Each structure stands twice: as C-alpha cells, then as structure tokens.
Amino acid sequence: MAGTLIQLMADMNPELTIEIHVDIGEKGRTRELIQQVVGMINMCGFLAKVKPYSYGATKVADRFTK
C-alpha cells in the first residue's frame, strides 16, 4: 500500500523525496540494529534516516516514551 501511495505521489511530483525517520542511533540499545533496519527500509525503496538526522522519529518517540 505504501509503495502504491509513493508511486502516485512521485507521479504528481517527480522531485518528491520520501524519508522514513527511524528512532535508532549509535548511542542507545538499538545501535546493533541500525544496519539491519536501514537495509530493510532501503530494500523497500525508501530513504532511511537515523539519529541524529531522524528529527521526526526522535521528537515523537521522546514525547511518548519519556
């Protein structure tokens, strides 16, 4: 479903870039998962952003987990 939506949006605006912001980073317990998670996202055709560049995920996660 996400792929279909992305394709429709790309057809409307070819310069559109879709990023998935993942709340993982080098300093937390999830640091061992970075390569696997980013690889899965990239294989699906999306651009993955991790901390400190994942502003969206960091703000949402921090708000709801602390």
Q: Give the domain range for residue 37.
A: 17-65
Does any domain span residue 12?
A: no
Is residue 1 a part of any domain in this protein? Answer: no
Q: Mean of the per-residue pLDDT values for the chain?
A: 82
Q: pLDDT value at position 14?
A: 86
Nearest to 19 by CA among 36, 4, 38, 33: 38
What is the average pLDDT across 31-50? Answer: 87
Place of tokens 């690889």: 39
Count of domains for the chain = 1
2 in a structural domain: no
Q: Would 60 be classed as within a structural domain?
A: yes
Q: What is the pLDDT of residue 66?
A: 64
For residue 59, being part of any structural domain is answered with yes
The DSSP annotation for 32-65 comes to: GGHHHHHHHHHHTT-EEE-TTS-HHHHHHHHHHH
Question: Is 9 inside any structural domain?
Answer: no
* Domain contains 7: no
What is the per-residue pLDDT across 7-27, written as a single tens digit (0 to 9) for each? 898 899 988 888 888 887 777
User: Residue 14 carries which DSSP code?
Assistant: T
